[in-house]
Chain A
Amino acid sequence: MQKSLHIDPNKCTGCLQCEMACSYENYGAFNISKSRIKVFNFESAGRKVPYTCTQCAEAWCLHACPVDAIRVDAATGAKVVHENACVGCKVCTIACPFGTINYVADSGKVQKCDLCGGQPACAEACPTGAITFVESDWTGLGKMRQWAEKTDTQPRA
């Protein structure tokens, strides 16, 4: 069964545990500047929104890559950058409509979320359930349940 990262911004407090977990997983350091998931702070609206690659089924980045450096991980469905093949041309960063594949100057390659091979560190680190890793077919299940609970079929007194 394929799983997806599911984000509920209303639950995000902006603690950045996800960014630390992501950077440690991939770089062995707590370095949020290297995180592949980013929490955006909309200050005057009082909102914080985590954002990362949603692993498009028809991935623009993958199709745009001239050297086939972005490939599908058969086990997870993640679109994964193969660093050995990546030439750092950045065409994928132009193709991606969401900006979730990024160039890393230090390595001269691009990076994006690879779902950590099926156990995303960000979701494990999130203390509030704002980031969860759920079955792809049921990404809206939590919200449905919430509204279902509010549905009252009994006539009001």
Chain B
Amino acid sequence: MAWAKKILRVNLTKGTCASEPLNMEWAQQYLGQRGLATKYLVAETDPKVDPLSPENKLIMTTGPLTGTMASTGGRYSVVTKGPLTGAIACSNSGGYFGAELKMAGWDMIIFEGKSPKPVYLWLENDKAELRDATHLWGKTTWDVEEEIKKAHQDPQIRIASIGRAGENGVLYACVVNDLHRAAGRSGVGAVMGSKNLKAVAVRGTVGVSGIKDFKAFLKATTAAKKVLADNAVTGQGLPKFGTQVLMNVINEVGALPTRNAQDVQFEGARNISAEAMHEKRPTDGKANLITNAACFGCTIACGRVSQVDKNHWSVVNSPKYWGATGGLEYENAWSLGAANGVDDLDALTVANMICNEDGMDPITFGATIGAVMEMYQMGVLKKEQIGVEAPFGSAQALLELAHMTAEGRGFGKEIGLGSKRLCEKYGKPELSMTVKGQEFPAYDPRGIQGMGLTYATSNRGACHLRSYTVASEILGVPVKTDPLVTDGKADLVKAFQDATAAFDSSGTCIFTTFAWTLADLAPQLDAACEGGWTLERLAEVGERIWNMERQYNLAAGLTAKDDDLPKRLKTEPAKSGPAKGLVSGIDKMIPEYYKVRGWSTDGVPTKETAKRLGL
């Protein structure tokens, strides 16, 4: 079977590493990665735990298809209780690190306690040891990667680490792997930093074997790859334009939250779009985009490789930003750009680089800057407090504040707490565009109603990757629904949430679902793993995972009141575009959703629902 059937337990307080068998009974109920690691967290920790205390645990976890030839089979997740939200946090990343961990012979690593001094975990197949990281503390993820590879004299080591943001308690710090890939949201990097764990370095030469039926696996994965190649989004749109293919599309449908969601269309959208990334700059005659790139095992290859103009004001004195690097994805181009009214493509690319090298979630960081700029516009915040002039549209402010936040300097310390805490402190809580304390991403719920329900009910705080109804409401996948109505969205969101939870637990990437359904995933899993994995069974596993996460959040102290959107989206109508005059119909959708879910009117899974799912 495709699980390694082995867990590494690292006690950072005691400095011990121990191997234990994977609970295969749980694997049959929760599959792997997101589901299975969450089951371990639920079983082993108190939901009321302070996320940044030694009693919280941090789990790095792969899925059964991680490290196999299944397309996109290179994913891993970081699961913990999130410090930004106080809710379950599960952040998924690509790159090569996850596959290396699996090829070293491990399904997951559970970190517990807190190291007395900075350490990194060195993992070479069976051999696991904590090493001193005092010399790495204070360094960026890029420097850490270089230094660890040099120290071990092995360029093929794969590394996941935190940058200075994670050390400095930025509540939305990420875990960055392979330089440009991140377990990005909910502050999993802050938890890692609170444990004095700087990095995890892995070299795996054992490989993944034990595929249940290799012939069937090859047949199923080959067929599924063809589905991806033949699909217009995964076969053409994503490789050519990346997720940035959405910038102009979402702007045109009037769902691009602009200047802290004061507007739903951005006049500068075109300048920061995929099309602009392809065009030659007038300054140096080169395009921002060099090529596309894939994560491990991925046959879509949506990743962007970009290079900014060396003479751009933001980098002219910083040669480290001159080389090719991870380019803008749609969410980042939006959060750093439209959310702040900034339309300087190279400046946004640099802001994105800073987020990568110092490990910060660009969605929350960018959206928090949007709130700062609105408070500056209102006169609530002044230059003397912030340290720079911060009007909407200022790329200079964006970049300076990015450095200050990552390094924990001056006002950057406050920005590092996210917009909810920041806006509350300055008496403007309504300016924080968050759900459960986490900033919502690049789709305005006034223009895409299903995304409002997605944000409000997401178990890890506002997020698009828990039920990407944009696929249905805008792109017509798997069926077209009207983005401007609330009817039927409860059912749609539930179906997307359950399927997504199954995909996130398999080791494959959610972007496959532009082309795949669970019917494409099931035969691949079934050929790889024991257990008779059918589409029905996967949907049930997904629903079980969703309800388990919900129960965890309720036990952590969250209630139905937290399933709500910022007031602005419910009271200030969209000013332009197809959704002009509309607000979010969230209050109508929530009761419908609870009913569809089999939850009480208070949003609690009923006894029958819990029993049906074996919870």
Please tell me if B416 contacts chain A, counting CB pairs below 8 Å: no
Interface flags, A63-77, vs B, CB<8A=1, else 0: 000000000000000
| Given known contacts A15-B295, A16-B296, A17-B299, A30 and B205 CB-to-CB distance under 8 angstroms | no
Give the chain B neighbours of A20 by CB distance below 8 A: 68-69, 297
Chain A: which residue is nearest B72 at the CB level? A15
> Is the CB–CB distance between B103 and A33 below 8 Å?
yes
> Is the CB–CB distance between B103 and A30 below 8 Å?
yes
Give the chain A neighbours of B463 by CB distance below 8 A: none
Which of A38-46, A94-102, A136-144 touches B?
A: A38-46
> Is the CB–CB distance between A13 and B293 below 8 Å?
yes
Chain B: which residue is nearest A48 at the CB level? B293
Residue from the list A24, A31, A46, A125 in contact with B290, Cβ < 8 A: A46
Give the chain A neighbours of B103 by CB distance below 8 A: 30-33
Chain A: which residue is nearest B289 at the CB level? A46
Please tell me if B307 contacts chain A, counting CB pairs below 8 Å: yes
> Is the CB–CB distance between A127 and B207 below 8 Å?
no
| Given known contacts A17-B69, A43-B179, A48-B293, A31 and B208 CB-to-CB distance under 8 angstroms | yes
Chain A: which residue is nearest B297 at the CB level? A15
Interface residues of A in 21-37 (CB under 8 A from B): 21, 23-24, 27-34
> Is the CB–CB distance between B205 and A33 below 8 Å?
yes
Give the chain A neighbours of B296 by CB distance below 8 A: 15-16
Give the chain A neighbours of B203 by CB distance below 8 A: 33
Q: How far is the CB of B158 from chain A (nearest CB, A)?
A: 11
| Given known contacts A15-B301, A30-B103, A44-B324, A125 and B69 CB-to-CB distance under 8 angstroms | yes
Interface residues of B in 285-314 (CB under 8 A from A): 290-299, 301, 303, 305, 307
> Is the CB–CB distance between A43 and B207 below 8 Å?
no
> Is the CB–CB distance between B205 and A15 below 8 Å?
no
Residue from the list A29, A33, A43 in contact with B324, Cβ < 8 A: A43
> Is the CB–CB distance between A21 and B69 below 8 Å?
yes
Give the chain B neighbours of A17 by CB distance below 8 A: 69, 297, 299
> Is the CB–CB distance between B293 and A29 below 8 Å?
no
A23-B67 Cα distance, complex, nearest whole Å = 12
> Is the CB–CB distance between A30 and B68 below 8 Å?
yes
Give the chain A neighbours of B298 by CB distance below 8 A: 13, 15
> Is the CB–CB distance between A33 and B156 below 8 Å?
yes
With most chain B CB atoms within 10 A of its CB, the pick from A16, A21, A48 is A16
Give the chain A neighbours of B96 by CB distance below 8 A: 16
Residue from the list A27, A30, A127 in contact with B299, Cβ < 8 A: A127
Classify chain A's interface size. Answer: 20 to 34
> Is the CB–CB distance between B69 and A24 below 8 Å?
yes
Give the chain A neighbours of B156 by CB distance below 8 A: 33
Residue from the list A28, A31, A47 in contact with B206, Cβ < 8 A: A31
Give the chain B neighbours of A21 by CB distance below 8 A: 69
> Is the CB–CB distance between A31 and B299 below 8 Å?
no
Chain A: which residue is nearest B100 at the CB level? A32
> Is the CB–CB distance between B297 and A46 below 8 Å?
no
> Is the CB–CB distance between A46 and B204 below 8 Å?
no
Please tell me if A14 contacts chain B, counting CB pairs below 8 Å: yes
| Given known contacts A31-B103, A32-B103, A14 and B205 CB-to-CB distance under 8 angstroms | no
A24-B103 Cα distance, complex, nearest whole Å = 13
A44-B323 Cα distance, complex, nearest whole Å = 5
> Is the CB–CB distance between A127 and B225 below 8 Å?
yes
Classify chain B's interface size. Answer: 35 or more
Interface residues of A in 47-89 (CB under 8 A from B): 47-48
Give the chain A neighbours of B229 by CB distance below 8 A: 127
> Is the CB–CB distance between A43 and B323 below 8 Å?
yes
Q: How far is the CB of B64 from chain A (nearest CB, A)?
A: 12
Please tell me if B472 contacts chain A, counting CB pairs below 8 Å: no
Q: How far is the CB of A13 from chain B (nearest CB, A)?
A: 4
A127-B307 Cα distance, complex, nearest whole Å = 25
Give the chain A neighbours of B239 by CB distance below 8 A: 13
A21-B299 Cα distance, complex, nearest whole Å = 14
> Is the CB–CB distance between A30 and B324 below 8 Å?
no
Give the chain A neighbours of B534 by CB distance below 8 A: none
Interface residues of B in 182-238 (CB under 8 A from A): 203-209, 214, 225, 229
A65-B223 Cα distance, complex, nearest whole Å = 43
Q: How far is the CB of B552 from chain A (nearest CB, A)?
A: 33
Give the chain A neighbours of B205 by CB distance below 8 A: 31, 33-34
> Is the CB–CB distance between B324 and A15 below 8 Å?
no
A39-B452 Cα distance, complex, nearest whole Å = 43
With most chain A CB atoms within 10 A of its CB, the pick from B207, B214, B324 is B207
Give the chain A neighbours of B69 by CB distance below 8 A: 17, 20-21, 24, 30, 125
Give the chain B neighbours of A14 by CB distance below 8 A: 293-294
Q: How far is the CB of A122 from chain B (nearest CB, A)?
A: 12
A34-B229 Cα distance, complex, nearest whole Å = 28
A30-B214 Cα distance, complex, nearest whole Å = 11
> Is the CB–CB distance between B291 and A15 below 8 Å?
no
Counting from the closest, the 6 A-B pairs by CB-CB distance are A31-B207, A46-B324, A44-B323, A29-B207, A29-B209, A13-B294
**Known interface pairs A14-B294, A33-B156, A34-B205; 10 further A-B residue pairs with C-beta atoms within 8 A, sorted by A's residue number:** A13-B298, A13-B301, A13-B303, A15-B298, A21-B69, A23-B207, A29-B207, A30-B207, A32-B207, A43-B323
Binding site for B on A (CB under 8 A): 10, 13-17, 20-21, 23-24, 27-34, 43-48, 125, 127-128
18 contacts between A and B (CB under 8 A): A13-B294, A13-B303, A14-B293, A15-B295, A15-B299, A15-B301, A17-B69, A20-B68, A21-B69, A23-B207, A30-B69, A30-B103, A31-B208, A33-B203, A33-B207, A45-B323, A46-B290, A46-B323
